[in-house]
Structures are given as structure tokens and as C-alpha cells.
Amino acid sequence: MVGAAPSFSDVHILRALLTLHENPTGRKKLVQILGLGEGSVRTIIKHLTEDGLIKSSSQGHKITEKGEKTVLERLRLFSKPNAVDLRDMISGMQSLIVVYGAVKYLTNIVLLRDTALRAGADGALVLVCDGDVKFPDSGMSISDYPLSSEYLKKINLREGDVVVIGFAPTVQKAEDGALAATLELLSPNSSP
């Protein structure tokens, strides 16, 4: 007998690890943060515990040394998702991730957008730092969007960085979209 397919993805597992990296968190709080059901969160916790990435404590679930190492390996590749307000460029709630030096992996922007859609977001906007922050397809600078341009200048992007912005009706879904697109960008199989 085969059970139901899991209602969570690698994105949810990564979001759980990133959350626990910041603070010990209880299961009920993880349900709220991840936007998943209790059963799915229990399964994620079980897998992370079995893999030695988290442990339970009186304060909630806590990241282990192995889990810390795993998170830090990821954070060398990209920033934590940040809720942003770039309303002059994108509507809805937005979550931004900087993927360090990833312009060399950027081959299929439509695939990244579609990946964000499958993760529950309304889409993903991709920008590159190439002398200036630009739209990769057109090479057009984002200077026509003063709020967004000003914000992106403040975060000290480096040449070759890729900015992935997921957008959706909720911050959770925007973050899911941004993380899914980021993981796809870094995936060795994402070439067209």
C-alpha cells in the first residue's frame, strides 16, 4: 500500500532549516511559518532529526552542529530570503535572495519563473549585477524604478551576482518561489 504523496518539497525543508538556524522553534510555530499541515511538518522534523540536522529540546527543535554546517554551506551560495517592498517594480508580497556569482549559471529565466510558479508564487523576477543592476534579457538598468534601485544599491551586490525576487499574495509563497527558483538556478541540470 502506498501512502499519499508528500505535500512539501525541498524548499520547505530548506526553509525549516533556515528558520531553526535562527532560533529553536516548536512544531506549531513551524506549521505557521512553513504554511504546511501538522503532518507534513512532523514528517519534515522526523527526516531532519534522522539525518542528524536537528534535535528536540525543551525550547523546541534546534539545529545541530551538522545542521549548522549544512545551512552555512548553502549561505555561502546565496543569502537568506528577505521580505522586501519593491512595489515600484513588482506587485504583491516579495521575497529577495542574492545568489552570489551565479550569473554564469543563468541560462533559462523562463524555467526559473516556472519553478517559482510551481512552488506557489505568482512568479519570479530575475536581475543581474553587471556594472549596474539590470534585467538580464534586455540589459536594461532598473534605474527607472527608484525605490527598487535605491534598495538594491544598499545591499552591496557584487559583479556577477543574481537577484531572485519571488512575488505572491503572501510572504510565505513569495519566499517559496524565490527559494525554488534559486535552487533551480544552482541545480546542475537547469540548462536548457
Q: Cell 538556478 appears where?
A: 185
User: In the prediction, which pLDDT does 156 show?
Assistant: 86
User: Is the domain 10-74 a CATH 1.10.10.10 member?
Assistant: yes
Q: What is the pLDDT of residues 76-86, one digit of tens each?
A: 999 999 999 99
Given the candidates 3.30.465.10, 3.30.470.20, 3.30.1360.30, 1.10.240.10, the CATH classification of the domain at 78-186 is 3.30.1360.30
Q: What is the pLDDT of residues 35-60, one digit of tens each?
A: 999 999 999 999 999 999 999 988 89
Q: What is the pLDDT of residues 129-153, one digit of tens each?
A: 988 999 998 889 999 999 999 999 9
CA distances from 45 to 10, 26, 91, 102, 164 (A): 13, 10, 34, 31, 28
Nearest to 83 by CA among 68, 99, 95, 67: 95
Nearest to 9 by CA among 187, 170, 183: 183
Q: In the chain, where are the structural domains located?
A: 10-74, 78-186
Q: What is the pLDDT of residues 140-187, one digit of tens each?
A: 999 999 999 999 999 989 999 999 999 999 999 999 999 999 999 999
- Quick one: pLDDT band at residue 189, thresholds 50, 70, 90? low
DSSP structure class, residue 105:
G
In this prediction the pTM is 0.90
